[in-house]
Amino acid sequence: MTTIPELDATGLMLALALPWLAGVVAVRALLGPLRVTLLLGHGFMVGQLLIILLLLAWDALGLRLAFAPLAWVLAALTALLMLAWRRSTPSPGPEFTVGWRDALWLLPLLAFLAERGFSLAGEVTMRPLFAWDAWMNWAPRAVVWFHEGALATFVMPEQWLAATADPAPYTLGNPRANVYPPGVPLLLLWPMLGGGTYDHNLLYLPWLLLPAAAGLALWGHLRQLCLPRAVCALAVFALLSQPLANTHTALPGYADLWLAVAFGLGGMALAEWHASGQWRWGGLAALLALCCALFKVPGLAYAAILLAAAGLLLWRPPARWVGWFLGSALALTTVGLLLGLHPDAAQFGADHLTIRLPGTLPTLQLAPAPLLPLLWDNFFITANWHLFWLLLFICLVAGLWLRGYKTLHNIALVVFVCGLGVLLAVFGLTHYFRQAANGVTLDRALLYVVPLGVYVAFAQLATLWHDNRAAEAR
The answer to whether position 181 is within a domain reads yes
- How does DSSP assign 369-431, residue by residue? --HHHHHHIIIIISSTTTTHHHHHHHHHHHHHHHHGGGGG--HHHHHHHHHHHHHHHHHHHBT
Give a yes or no: residue 277 inside a domain: no
| Domain end position, chosen among 172, 205, 238 | 205
- What is the domain extent for residue 130? 7-81+110-205
DSSP letter string over 217-232?
A: HHHHHHHHTT--HHHH
Residues 51 and 183 in one domain: yes
Number of structural domains found in the chain: 2
Residue 229 forms part of a structural domain:
no
CA angle 16–284–426, rounded 5-degree value: 90
Looking at residue 432, what is its pLDDT? 83
Same domain, 180 and 294: no
- Contacting residues for 364 by C-beta, under 8 A, at least 6 apart: 354, 355, 357, 426, 430, 431, 432
Ranges in the chain, pLDDT < 50? 1, 93
**Residues 12 and 124 placed together within one structural domain of the fold:** yes
- Of 157, 188, 205, the residue at which a domain comes to its end is 205
In the listed set 205, 224, 240, which residue is the last one of a domain according to the structure? 205
Residues 6+ apart with CB under 8 A from 293: 181, 299, 300, 303
Give pLDDT, residue 175: 87
Q: Confirm whether 220 is domain-assigned.
A: no
Classify residue 34: in a domain, yes or no: yes
Closest CA relative to residue 288, chosen from 309, 316, 313, 259: 259
